[in-house]
Structures are given as structure tokens and as C-alpha cells.
Amino acid sequence: MDLGLNGKRALVLGASRGLGRAIAEVLAREGAHVIAAARTASAINEWAAALPGAKVTALPLDLTNLAAIDAALDKLLADGGVDILVNNIGGPPPGPALTTDRALWIAQFEAMAANLFHLSGRLIPAMQAKKWGRVITIASSGVELPIPNLALSNGIRSAVVGWSKTLASEVARDGVTVNVVLPGRIHTTRIDELDAAAAKRSGKTVEETAKASAESIPMGRYGRPEEFADMVAFLASERAGYVTGSMIRIDGGATRSH
């Protein structure tokens, strides 16, 4: 299937590892010019070197630094903006809702939500002008079925979902689609970190914890990053032009509340 991505410009946030890297790689293989953003460019340059012929530009970007965000956006917009924006923000530290400090809530909301809204708001008008654009935001299955001890993620990502659904209605007539993708247990470094934290709390080994977690999923395993990235690539494609305002779960059937 031709996804119609050849020559499209795509900005992928958090592209040095995990889901962001997998998304950036599949978009590049489909012919998009991928601007892969992360705090350091070295990891991006390393994986990009393994994709001969792909067009990947590493963009050092700290999403907690608003001035750095605006400087990067000024350059991107001067170069014509982007056609595809993949909002992928790393997860906050685990912790309960009751005792999480107010200052931590504010700091994490700024990095995970407010700065994301600002970045998107600056890039989308150029998509509207071209009458074509894709905004895909990576959230978490925790926005539908809250994950224990991940209060920051559950709360802030839920706010991001509300923003995304509101935005989708505002820009739909301009040919810009806005969707959210919810990963479940996709096997990345982040999942390994969460399993290690859960093991420490329970007194079990990391292996025992990971096995029990995988067995709780109807498919009996963690997802692969490339399985997740393929869905994002479809939503970024010409073929997904009538899909907007949606949330799509990729979790092996683990979320059973809807």
C-alpha cells in the first residue's frame, strides 16, 4: 500500500529511542523527510546511519526549554514548516495522586502539555494554509483506564487528549487531521523502567513482574515498537484523510473498559 508519504516533511518528537525512534524510522522508510527531535542528536544520527537512502535530519531539542522550542520552530517555519507532526513526550516519574507535590505537577504539565500545545499551535497554521496536515499525539492507555502509581501520566495525558479532540474540530475543514494513539505495554526502555519500579515495590524480580504483566494482556505478550509505529504511519498517510478526532488503542486488547 502506497501511503503517499514520499516527500512529506515530518517532525517527530522524542525520536532518539523507543516509540519516537520507531515512528521516525518507519516514516523515513516510507519516503518522508523526517526531522527527528530529541535532547541529543547522537543517538538519532546512529540509528539514521542504518537507513541508507532515508532522509533524516537530527534536531537537538529540549522540550522543557521554551526559548529553544521557539528558536527551532522559527527555523522550521522559515523552511516551509512540516506536513506531519508527531507529538511524543517522555513519561513523567511514577507516583500516587494523593502525595504528588504541586510543584512537580506544574513542571510536568508545562513540559508534557503546555509546551506541546505551544509547539503545535505554531506549526499548524502552515498546514492549514496548504490544506493538508497530520497531527498525531502519543498518549497512554492510562487516559482510559488509569494505571496505578502513574498519577502524573494519567492526569496530564488526559488533558492532552481533551486538547487534541477540541483541536480536531477546529482544523478539520482545513484538511488537517488530529488524532491520539494510546500505547499499552509496548516493549521499550520506558516499560523496562516501569517494570523495574513495580518489582521494587512488590519485592518480586523484574523478570517475574514482566511475565505477570505480559500474561495479563489478552495477546500474552508486550507489543513491538514497529507494530505501534505502523499505525502512526497510517494515520500520517494520505489514506487516513477521513480519520480525525479519534483515539486508537494499540495494547493487545489490554484495555477492556470500552
Sheet holding 33-38, edge to edge: 55-60, 33-38, 9-12, 84-87, 133-138, 176-183, 247-250
Per-residue cell: 89:
513526550
Q: Does the pLDDT of residue 258 top 70, yes or no?
A: no
In this structure, the number of other CB atoms found within 10 A of the CB of residue 135 comes to 25
Rounded mean pLDDT, 151-157: 97
Q: Can you tell me the distance from the alpha carbon of 90 to that of 18, in angstroms, rounded to the nearest whole number?
A: 10
In this prediction the pTM is 0.92
Please, are residues 181 and 174 in contact by the beta-carbon 8 Å criterion? no
pLDDT tier at 194, thresholds 50, 70, 90: confident
pLDDT tier at 215, thresholds 50, 70, 90: confident
pLDDT tens string 37-48: 999 889 999 999
Amino acid identity of residue 10, one-letter, is A
Q: Is 107 helix (H, G, I), strand (E, B) or coil?
A: helix
Between 190 and 52, the higher pLDDT residue: 52
